[in-house]
Chain A
Amino acid sequence: QLQLQESGPGLVKPSEALSLTCTVSGGSISSTTYYWGWIRQSPWKGLEWLANIYYSGRTYYNLSLKSRLTIFADTSKNQFSLRLSSVTAADTAVYYCARQVLYDNSGSPGYFDLWGRGTLVTVSS
Chain B
Amino acid sequence: DIQMTQSPSTLSASVGDRVAITCRASQSIDTWLAWYQQKPGKAPKLLIYKASSLESGVPSRFSGGGSGTEFTLTISSLQPDDFAIYYCQQYYNYWTFGQGTKVDVK
Spell out A's residues near B (CB within 8 Å).
Answer: 37, 46-49, 60, 62-63, 96, 98, 101, 103, 108-118
Contacts and interface: CB of A to CB of B under 8 A. Distances in A.
Contacts of A112: 34, 36, 44, 46, 89
Provide the main secondary structure of the chain B interface. Answer: loop
B46 A46 contact: no
B43 A111 contact: no
Interface residues of B, number: 22
Contacts of B49: 101, 103, 110-111, 113
Contact of B94 (A47, A49, A114, A118): A49
Contact of B46 (A48, A62, A111): A111
A47 to B, nearest CB: 4
B82 interface: no
Given A96-B43, A111-B49, A115-B44, A46 B99 contact: yes
A111 B99 contact: no
A46 B91 contact: no
Contacts of B36: 112
Residue with the greatest number of chain A CB neighbours at <10 A, chosen from B32, B50, B91: B91
Contacts of B43: 96, 98, 115-118
Nearest to B89: A111
B55 A47 contact: no
Contacts of A110: 32, 34, 49, 91
B14 to A, nearest CB: 27
A116 B44 CA distance: 9
Contact of A47 (B32, B45, B87): B87
Given A110-B32, A110-B91, A111-B91, A49 B96 contact: yes
A111 B50 CA distance: 9
8 contacts: A46-B87, A103-B49, A109-B95, A110-B49, A111-B34, A111-B91, A112-B34, A117-B43
A91 B45 CA distance: 23
B97 interface: yes
Nearest to A108: B91
A108 B96 CA distance: 15
Interface in B74-106: 87, 89, 91, 94-100
